[in-house]
Every structure is written in structure tokens, then in C-alpha cells.
Structure 1
Amino acid sequence: MSELTQEKIGLKSRRREQPVGRFSNLKLGEILARQGILIAFALFLIGFTIANDRFLAPDNIMGVVRSSAILGVMALGVTFVVLSGNLDLSVGSMMSFSTIVVLDLHDKIGPVLAIPAMFAMTMCLGALIGFLVGYLRLNSLIVTLGMLSAIHGLTLTYSGGKNMDIADKEGTWFSVFGQSDLVGIPVPILIFALLASTLGILLAKTPYGRKVYAVGGNGLAATFSGINRSRVVFTCYVLSSFCVATAGLLQASRSLGSQNTVGQGLELEVLAAVILGGASLMGGSGTIFKTVIGVLILGFIQNGLLLVGLQFYAQYIVTWIIIILAVWLDIAAKRGKLWSPIA
């Protein structure tokens, strides 16, 4: 075999080897970018289990899922908002409003009428936000940040600055939503699972769900395709407010009383759970199932921190770190690499 032939063969071999190496590095970067938060969660689980053997006990697991149900119900609705390419920072104060209203109306008109009245009032707030963002095309961050303060003021005005309690806590069936079990499973978990299943089907299997993805992925292209972008955004906020009202019902039923700031700060936790589940802040990417996973990740991490002896306020710092990490991984997944020399 001539030297020229051997050189050609060697050149072809090197050409075959180089793409394999680049492909392996690319795949590793994609795996870390797309599944990095799950890898980090697995490491958290291992660490918490080693630190405290109660972490994976059945009663602790059930307690974490039950306590995460209220946050999870809110996150389901916010998933639709984020998928449409918008944000909703008003859900925390809106949950406080719905909780206070249903507790107040419980003693005035009875739970049968109080529950639908509370849902109607809360969904009117969602419709207002949807109108401002969807039809008037105002910035969702500015609108919902302003509504956060406005609804908080509305809650304080409605309650007169006082906390709410049900007068006859022993003689009401209202506690069934937050305190009862059905076939051994807490009702809040069942409501969370039922709502997640319904909204998951709505998002993944219906024309409306495809419209939400289309609007969030490319609103201009969706409009030219005949999709009414304003209507889709409007309905996403109404749907989000329905989920918030459900969360307020669970919270009120669980404690049969509440402070008027019960939902304060929950908007960041809800957003963190949605992002942890893989929903993109840029819109058009995410699923209900992954949001449920994100809620559970956040719940188990917070529970693990308490079990290892950290104070509850340390959760705020960890939540901030998780949000930064999740946003970074989301952007990294879009560009296919964890690090980039350009923005």
C-alpha cells in the first residue's frame, strides 16, 4: 500500500473520529442543560436521605405531597400563562383574597353560596388581568406586579385589616376539602391530581392547548395563522384565577381561618415550581406533568432542609438559588450549551 493511500485512510479515520468527540460533548451539554435540575434533585434526595432517615418515610412523603397540593394547584394555572409567553405575579395576593372572601361569606350566606361567589369574584380579577394583557397588549410583568399590590389592598379593605375565622368550626362540612381523606388519600391531593389530569388533557389533546403553545412560541405567526392571540391570553389568565380560587378554597378549608396575608410571597414559589418543571419563560415550552414534577421537587427540597435542621427562612434563599439555576438551565437548553461567550 502506497504512502499516499495510507495518508488518505488516516485522514478519513480522523474525520470520522472528530465528529464523534464533538457529538459526545454536545450530548453531555444537552443532557446537563435539559435534565440538570433533575440530576441536582437526585443528589438532594441522596443527601437528605443520608442526613435523616425519616426523609423517605411513607408518612413524610404523604405529608410533603399534601402540603404541596395548594402550591401545585396554583402552579397548574400559571403554567398556561407562562406557556402563552406571559407572567403572573399576582397569584399570591389573589389567593389571599379568595381565602379571606370564602371564610367571610361562609358565616354570612353559608358555604353552599360562599364557594361559587368566591370563585366568581376571583375569576373577575383574572379576567381584568387577562383583558389588560391580552386585549390592551400591556406588559404582563408590569400589569401583574401592579395587581399584586392592588389585590393586596383590596383584601385588606375587604377584611378591614383583620384576619378571618369561621365561627362554628365544629359544625360545618366546609372542612371536607382541606382536612378529609377519601380511600386513604387526602382530599387536597385528589383535587390536585384531578385538576392536573384535566388540565393536562386540555393542554396536550385539544385545539385550545395547541393554540396556547402557538401563541407562546411565536405570537405573530399564530396571529397570521388565524389564532385569536388576545382571546387565548385572556382565557389563560381566567384559567389561572380559577386555579388560584381552588387553592384559596383548600387553604380556607384546611385551617378554617386565615391571615389576610396568607398568600404573600407564594407567587415566587409558584413561578419557581413552573420553571423547575421545564416551562420556558420565553413561552411555548412545557407541560402540566412536568409542572407537577417541579412542584414536588420544590416541596421535597424544602422538607429536606427542615429535616436537616435549617430554619424555615433559609428556604427563601434556597428558592432564589433554585430559580436562578432553573432559568440558567432553561436558557442553556435553548442554545444547546451551558456556557456561551455571547449573551
Structure 2
Amino acid sequence: MSEMTRQQIGGLLARQGILVAFALFMIGFALANQRFIDPDNILGVIRSSAILGVMALGVTFVVISGNLDLSVGSMMSFSTIVVLDLHDKIGPALAIPAMFAMTLCLGAFIGFLVGYLKLNSLIVTLGMLSAIHGLTLTYSGGKNMDIADKEGTWFSIFGQGEALGIPVPILLFAALAAVLGIALAKTPFGRKVYAVGGNGTAATFSGIKRARVVFSCYVLSALCVAIAGLIQASRSLGSQNTVGQGMELEVLAAVILGGASLLGGSGTIFKTVIGVLILGFIQNGLLLVGLQFYVQYVVTWVIIILAVWLDIAAKRGKLWSPIA
């Protein structure tokens, strides 16, 4: 094989490594266990991945803008607990918008700190992870939440309902991915997000209001978290007050696995969806082949390393360092 051909293959793998990895994972697990490609199993995996996926869509905007959001897990716990608590107090019709308003306020506060005060996003969101977790425990009094009348509420439609044979969580995930994908790729706001993440200084000098863009990305991320919390709450009509704990790392893994650079300026909604599905199918495949659930943590670590490697390779056009 010539050096030019090797470089072309390396460049292709670097650019489309996520799709190649997805295909290899699917083929490998299908050969290991025929149940893996059963339509019911595939639909079940996508349904269980919808909550993580919805959160990852919003975080994609934050990462492309050159920032991080480690608060989404605890924020999802807050959203879930709030909407369950308010369901019995004021009814679902008022509980849902009230929960959305509270969650968006949290996102706006983070966006203000990072966007307008220009504080480090890692430090801010790491601090907010603990602060929102404490807020959730304070709000719930340290107790889990359950809806009293689980049989007589229409609230369950968001997590348990179906339309045309497709679970509602999948439909919400797909619809949101389509809308945000178009917004990121085809609108002026999407181009501003890429510009701010690619070179914030140049974007500012070109007339883009960087602070406003960053602020909007965090509000959008909070909106996605609220939708995820709604799905989570309505799926079981009850929840622990730590339901979202640790999900921030899974969300970030899915986004980076999908090709969004930690340095900002690159990434797509489509590949984030693929990243989410890879994580979901890997966890499902490992269980089907008989491995224990804790093996998933090791595999997730390997996936993150692989994703970072492909991200660096995409920038230099080679899978291997020219120095090596």
C-alpha cells in the first residue's frame, strides 16, 4: 500500500471515524448475539437512550461554542423532582411550564456567569453541579418523589406513550435533533456558535456578540435538560432525587464521541446522535454477551480516549503523530 493511499485512508478514518466505529460495534455485537439486532431490542435501546440524547443535543451547542457544561446531570435531577412534586400540588398543566421556567433560570444564571462575566466554564459548571444537587435535596427535603394517582394522569404520555407504534421519547428526541440540527447548520445563530467557538476574539471583532451567544447556548442546554427531566419523570411517575447524578460525564462522552472538539468550533447534531447511540448500543451489547454492568465504566473510558484520539487526528489529517 502506497504512502498516499495510507494517508487517504487515515484521513477518511479521522473524519468519519465515528460512523466506522458505529458500524463495527453493530456488526460485532450482532455476530456475538442474534438478539442484538432484534427490532424490539433496537427500539428499546433507542428509547432508553433518548433522555441522554436530548441532554447531549443542548450540550453540543455549549461545547461547539468553546465551553463545558458539567451541571446537566444535577439539573436534570432538579427538573425531574420539581415537576413530580408540582404535579400533585397544582396539576400537570401548570407543573410542566413551572418546571421549565425554573430550569431555564438555572441555565440563564450559568450563561450569565460564563458569557457576560467571562468566568471559566469548567469551574462554574462544576460548582453549579454541587449547588444544584444541594438545591434539589433542599427542595425535596432529602426525599424521593412519586405521583399519588399514577393511573389517572395524562402526564405519563411523555415517557410511556406511543404514536404510530413509536415510543414518544424517541419521537421527542428525533424531533428535537432535527430542529436543532437545522438551527446549528443552517441559521445565522448556528454560524455564530461555530465562530465563537472557533475564534472568540475574531468573532468579537467581526461584530458577533460573544457573550449573548454563549448565554443563549446555556439557556438552550437548560431547555434540553428540562425536556429530558420531563421524559424521565413521566416514564416512571416517580424518581430518586439523584436520578441524574453522573449523567454529565455520559453526556460529555457522547458529544465528544460525536466529533465535537473540546477546544470548540467543530461538531454536528447528527454525529452527536450517533455518539449517543454508540454508548447505548455498547451498554446493551455488553449485557447481551454476558458481561457485568460495571464493565461499562471501563468501556466508556476507552471510548472517551478513542474519541479524543480521533479528534486530534482529524485536525492533523493523520491517525498517527508524524513525530512517532
| TM-score, length-scaled by structure 1 | 0.92
Aligned partner of 1:294 in structure 2 is 275
Aligned partner of 1:121 in structure 2 is 102
Q: CA deviation at 1:338?
A: 2.2
Q: CA deviation at 1:40?
A: 2.9
Q: CA deviation at 1:127?
A: 0.5
Q: CA deviation at 1:310?
A: 1.3
Q: CA deviation at 1:43?
A: 2.4
Counterpart residue identity of residue 85, structure 1? G
Q: CA deviation at 1:251?
A: 0.1
Aligned counterparts of 2:134 and 2:243: Cα–Cα separation in 1: 14
Q: CA deviation at 1:44?
A: 2.0
Counterpart residue identity of residue 270, structure 2? F
Q: CA deviation at 1:128?
A: 0.7
Matches within 5 A, 1:75-224: 75-224=56-205
Using the TM superposition, name which of 296-305 and 252-261 deviates more: 296-305
Counterpart residue identity of residue 66, structure 2? G
Aligned counterparts of 2:132 and 2:159: Cα–Cα separation in 1: 24
Aligned counterparts of 1:156 and 1:310: Cα–Cα separation in 2: 34
Counterpart residue identity of residue 335, structure 1? R
1:243 matches 2:224: yes
1:261 is paired with a residue of what secondary structure?
A: coil
Counterpart residue identity of residue 56, structure 2? A
Q: CA deviation at 1:262?
A: 0.4
Larger Rg: 1
1:273 aligned residue (254, 269, 273): 254
Aligned counterparts of 2:204 and 2:290: Cα–Cα separation in 1: 52
Aligned counterparts of 2:233 and 2:246: Cα–Cα separation in 1: 17
Q: CA deviation at 1:49?
A: 1.1
Counterpart residue identity of residue 252, structure 1? A
User: Is the 8 Å Cα contact of residues 310 and 319 (structure 2) preserved in structure 1?
Assistant: yes
Counterpart residue identity of residue 313, structure 1? Y
1:322 matches 2:307: no
Aligned counterparts of 1:38 and 1:196: Cα–Cα separation in 2: 17
1:45 matches 2:26: yes
Aligned partner of 1:310 in structure 2 is 291
Counterpart residue identity of residue 268, structure 1? L
Aligned-residue CA RMSD in angstroms?
1.4
Aligned partner of 1:10 in structure 2 is none
User: Is the 8 Å Cα contact of residues 19 and 274 (structure 2) preserved in structure 1?
Assistant: no
Counterpart residue identity of residue 306, structure 1? L
Aligned counterparts of 1:143 and 1:272: Cα–Cα separation in 2: 19
Aligned counterparts of 1:32 and 1:320: Cα–Cα separation in 2: 20
Q: Deviations over 1:29-69 (max 9, x none)?
A: 21232233333332222221121110000000110111111
Counterpart residue identity of residue 182, structure 2? I
Give the aligned length: 324
Give percent identity, aligned residues only: 85
Counterpart residue identity of residue 34, structure 2? D
Runs of 4+ with >3 A deviation: none
Q: Deviations over 1:106-146 (max 9, x none)?
A: 01111011000000000111001101110111111111111
| TM-score, length-scaled by structure 2 | 0.97
Q: CA deviation at 1:163?
A: 0.4
Counterpart residue identity of residue 195, structure 1? L
Q: CA deviation at 1:342?
A: 6.0
Aligned counterparts of 2:226 and 2:77: Cα–Cα separation in 1: 9
Aligned partner of 1:4 in structure 2 is none
Using the TM superposition, name which of 191-200 and 44-53 deviates more: 44-53
Aligned partner of 2:317 in structure 1 is 336
Counterpart residue identity of residue 209, structure 2? N
Aligned partner of 1:3 in structure 2 is none
